[in-house]
Amino acid sequence: MDRSLGALTALALLALAVPGAHADDAPLTAGHHRTTLPTQQPRAFTFARTIPGSTLHVALWYVGAGDSNGEGVRLSLGTAPGDERCGTGAVFRPTLGDPAPLLSTDVSSWTDVLDHPCVTADRLTVTVDVPSERADRGRDATLVVVEEPPVSAYSYDLLPEPVSPPWTPLTPAAPEPARPGQTYDDAPVLADGTYALTLRPGRTAVVAVLLGWDQTLRAQTGDPAVDVDIRGPLLSLSEAVKAGGHAQSRVASYRNRDSFDPTVTGGQLAGTHYVLLRPPGAEKVRTTLTLATTGAPGDGVPNYLDAPTPATPSATSTGSENDDGDRRPLLAGAVAVVLALGALALRATRRAGRDRGR
């Protein structure tokens, strides 16, 4: 069966004033929207569906104040402000000794009950609660929004169960210089290869890699003391393997959303994946990062229903570093979600409403 691969779902978002919540002055736009974390009361946004039966995915990320016994925020999705029936997400963790933690959580309306309000409602409401850490209130934040077309139950049953390949160490090549970002907005998009990086203490280094359906990503540093995470397009963990200095993502598979393991659900979409690197100690670390994608889109590409013709992702870029360390952000804020033509499976047991902590 032919399935054409594409990128970037049709996204449409509108911010409206709702009772008991504060709405942004500017409407939410396709892809990602800059906002601020609420200070006194939750902030609500209303999403108007453009595709009947679509799945709404929303991620929230921000750079926390740091050095806290516990900081975080709660994100919910429903049919009214504060309603959580379609899903909840939360991040809450200690950040002692971390001056600029990169924090994120996500939520999805996915459910396999055909007549559930999360499937049939024309509008859904995203609610951002007041942060637990006072120092985070009012801080800049970004909402990432994807509207995904549905697939039929028949098409879902045809999708194979994803099987992650075993970890195989990578052989570094001659490294190219690259300058990692510090957030998801300024992360350079890198291709397979080896890169020379400088990691600074107290900062998270971020690079991006485009990953298609049925593909997996391996990331390996030259220093086993470096902590490596891989996150999917919704910024949640996608890790089949994680050890000192390296990690391997889950196979990008639609079926991953049916899991209760947050390191599996992070691999539920193809698109831009992120490699996060944190150096040990208080010293600057110069190391290499080798990236390799394996697999090719095949039987695991979902057949979406009523999907608009997707666009093809743009070319790959790398970040550069000059002598004084100035930043040259490339593809800032890109959230490329590679989706094929097709739609959502509705089986027998509802999976929406899972709490996910990041």
Q: What is the mean pLDDT of the chain?
A: 81
**Per-residue model confidence (pLDDT) at position 264:** 92
**Per-residue model confidence (pLDDT) at position 4:** 30
**Per-residue model confidence (pLDDT) at position 251:** 97
Q: How far apart are CA 219 and CA 64, in angstroms?
A: 26
Q: Sheet containing 205-211: which strands, arranged edge to edge? A: 205-211, 271-278, 227-231
**Per-residue model confidence (pLDDT) at position 258:** 87
* Residue bearing tokens 């009361």: 41
**Per-residue model confidence (pLDDT) at position 260:** 87
Once rounded to an integer, what is the mean pLDDT over residues 228-251?
Answer: 96
Once rounded to an integer, what is the mean pLDDT over residues 169-183?
Answer: 97
Least trusted range by pLDDT, from 39-48, 130-139, 174-183, 305-314: 305-314
Q: How far apart are CA 45 and CA 168, in angstroms?
A: 44
Once rounded to an integer, what is the mean pLDDT over residues 4-13?
Answer: 30
The structural domains of the chain, with segments of one domain joined by +, span 31-158
Topology at the third CATH level for domain 31-158: Jelly Rolls (2.60.120)
**Per-residue model confidence (pLDDT) at position 60:** 97
Q: Are 56 and 77 in contact (CB under 8 A)?
A: yes
Instruction: Give SS3 for 157.
Output: helix
Q: Are strands 140-148 and 55-63 parallel, antiparallel or unpaired?
A: antiparallel
Q: How far apart are CA 233 and CA 267, in angstroms?
A: 8
- Between residues 64 and 155, the one the model is more confident about: 64
**Per-residue model confidence (pLDDT) at position 30:** 58
**Per-residue model confidence (pLDDT) at position 317:** 35
**Per-residue model confidence (pLDDT) at position 31:** 80
Helix, strand counts (H, E) of the chain: 3, 17
**Per-residue model confidence (pLDDT) at position 173:** 97
pLDDT band for 308, please (50, 70, 90 cuts). low
Q: What's the chain's length in residues?
A: 358
CA-wise closest residue to 285 among 327, 245, 247, 322: 245
Q: How far apart are CA 8 and CA 312, in angstroms?
A: 8
- Between residues 129 and 115, the one the model is more confident about: 129
Reported as a single tens digit per residue, the pLDDT across 195-224 is 999 999 989 999 999 999 999 999 999 999
pLDDT band for 5, please (50, 70, 90 cuts). very low
CA-wise closest residue to 258 among 179, 174, 350: 350
The structure tokens listed for 342 are: 């097709």
- Between residues 69 and 309, the one the model is more confident about: 69
**Per-residue model confidence (pLDDT) at position 84:** 93
Residue 185 CB burial class (10 angstroms; 0-12, 13-18, ≥19):
middle
Reported as a single tens digit per residue, the pLDDT across 259-291 is 889 889 999 999 999 999 999 988 899 999 999
Q: Is the pLDDT of residue 334 over 80?
A: no
Q: Is the pLDDT of residue 18 over 50?
A: no
Q: Is the pLDDT of residue 16 over 60?
A: no
Q: Is the pLDDT of residue 29 over 60?
A: no
Rounded to two decimals, the pTM is: 0.81
Once rounded to an integer, what is the mean pLDDT over residues 301-326?
Answer: 49
Residue 60 pairs in a beta bridge with 105, 143
Q: Are 232 and 249 in contact (CB under 8 A)?
A: yes
Once rounded to an integer, what is the mean pLDDT over residues 329-345?
Answer: 34
What's the CA dihedral at 182, 231, 195, 212 to 10 degrees?
-130
Amino acid at residue number 67: D
CA-wise closest residue to 241 among 191, 294, 189, 202: 294
Reported as a single tens digit per residue, the pLDDT across 183-202 is 999 999 999 999 999 999 98
Q: Is the pLDDT of residue 130 over 70?
A: yes
Instruction: Give SS3 for 262.
Output: helix
**Per-residue model confidence (pLDDT) at position 341:** 30
Please give the share of the chain, as a percent, with pLDDT higher than 90: 65
